[in-house]
Amino acid sequence: MPIFYYKAVKEENNEKKIVKGKIKASNAREARQEVKKLGFVPINVYEESQGNAKKDEANKDQVPKIRPLSTNEKINFTSTFKLLMQSGVPVVESLVFLENEADTPKLKEAAGTIKAQILAGSTYSETISKYPNIFGHVYIGLTKAGEDSGEMDTTLSRLVELLKKQEDIKNRVIGALIYPVFVICLAIAALMVMLMFVFPAFKDMFLNLGDKLPIYTKICLQLGEFLKAYWVGIPISIIAIVGGVYYALKNESTKNKIDEFLLKVPILKDLLIAANLSNFFAVMQVAFEAGIPVIDSLYLGNITVSNSLLNKEIKKASRKIQTGQRLSIALKNVMLIPRMMVFLITIGEQSGRLGEMLMQCVAYIDEKLDKVIDTVTKMIEPVMLILIGGMVLFLALSLYLPIFKSYEM
């Protein structure tokens, strides 16, 4: 009869511990049932043989591919997985359910791929660690911490809340910026239609005015003729600008300069700092509550910080913590972090309630982010009104003043 090795969770005196062992059984399903009879919750059950070991070695670098998952798909995947784990369903059975019942083909494919690798002998955290581009280092790090501590269901709950929070922050920031971008694009489109089609219709009449034609009307006529003659350059220019911005953000030195400039724009600075710190402290708090050391929690939180200047400052703080400094003292030197948050962390360290104070930091920065987004939203409308009003006034004067002058002649 084959020998199966298992890794399971044992609950003793309201504490969960990881236990490992081996058991004889006819197949993997029977082995999992035997582990359950021992009073354990199986995490991983596999048969280890020489043939399997050679096969694993041969396929070590051949990791099956998983198609990219959106944040909402990861939320659905993790939420369902969490519910099944909380109900006492083993990892493999949970993945079988997801493979058969998931909402999208990509989720079914991901569940099936992960399940196959677990059946081959890998743990859940080891498997998803092969896909950092899909799940991200934060997700992988927290999952490993949950698996090692035997609190996988609790960790999955934290991950679901974290993913929802990050998606909510992204949607709120995009929602605050999408309106002005849409209005600007609409205004540019209307301007181009006026220049390319409306002004040329009055060209002959305008030319009869000769020197009496206003300078801004002449500019509109010449610009309209240029756009009609070289309209192919418009989409090419848009593609070039988008491509230039993309590669500028990919280049480290250029991105550093852009990030430094953005932090000098008054309202935008507050929005970027609040959004980055909201993600940073949320991840750090979840990681710390999952039992991850402070320095590693700081590292995981810093992964979510997109602004290069703030990212570098937090990395400096991490190095200071490695030399023995406390978290509050290290973060005190990061000028972009509000003093209130540093004060809360100081209280947490002194009272032994760091996890609770990190949660207060998250609440504080979230409230600040709400206020900044509200301020940006309120400022957008008058600014857009002034810009569009100015453009309409310029076009109206350019178009109608020459017409009025022609009636006077």
- To which H or E segment does residue 340 belong? helix 339-351
What per-residue confidence (pLDDT) applies to 364? 92
- Nearest residue to 337 (alpha-carbon basis) of 359, 370, 360, 314: 314
All CATH 3.10.20 domain ranges of the chain, comma separated, are 1-57
Is the separation of the CB atoms in 79 and 99 below 8 Å?
no
pLDDT at 332: 87
Alpha carbon distance 28, 46 (integer Å) = 7
Return per-residue pLDDT of the chain as tens, 409 residues. Answer: 778 887 776 766 656 667 788 888 887 778 877 887 887 777 667 775 533 443 444 444 467 888 888 888 999 999 988 888 888 888 888 888 988 888 888 989 998 999 888 887 788 888 888 888 888 888 888 888 888 777 788 888 888 888 888 888 888 878 877 888 888 888 888 888 888 888 888 777 777 766 667 788 888 888 888 888 888 888 888 899 888 888 888 888 888 888 888 888 888 888 889 888 988 898 888 888 888 888 888 888 888 888 888 888 888 888 888 888 888 898 888 888 889 999 999 999 999 899 899 999 989 998 998 888 888 888 887 888 888 888 888 888 888 777 776 665 5
**CA angle at 260 for the pair 254 and 261, rounded to the nearest 5°:** 90
**Please, are residues 25 and 2 in contact by the beta-carbon 8 Å criterion?**
yes
20 forms beta bridges with 7
pLDDT attached to residue 237: 86
200-206: Cβ within 8 A, 24+ apart: 200/224, 200/225, 200/228, 202/399, 202/402, 202/403, 205/402, 205/403, 205/406, 206/402
pLDDT of residue 61: 47
Q: 117-122 long-range contacts, Cβ below 8 Å, gap at least 24? A: 117/64, 118/44, 118/46, 118/91, 118/92, 119/28, 119/46, 119/92, 120/46, 120/52, 120/55, 120/56, 121/44, 121/46, 121/48, 121/52, 121/56, 122/44
- Residue type present at position 107: L
pTM here? 0.68
What fold characterizes domain 1-57? Ubiquitin-like (UB roll) (3.10.20)
Predicted pLDDT at 343: 93
pLDDT at residue 168 in the model: 86
- Residue 221 in contact with residue 199, Cβ under 8 Å? yes
- What the block records as the tokens of 359 is 């949660």
**Other residues' Cβ atoms within 10 Å of the Cβ of residue 192:** 15
Q: What is the Cα–Cα distance from 192 to 182, expressed in whole angstroms?
A: 15
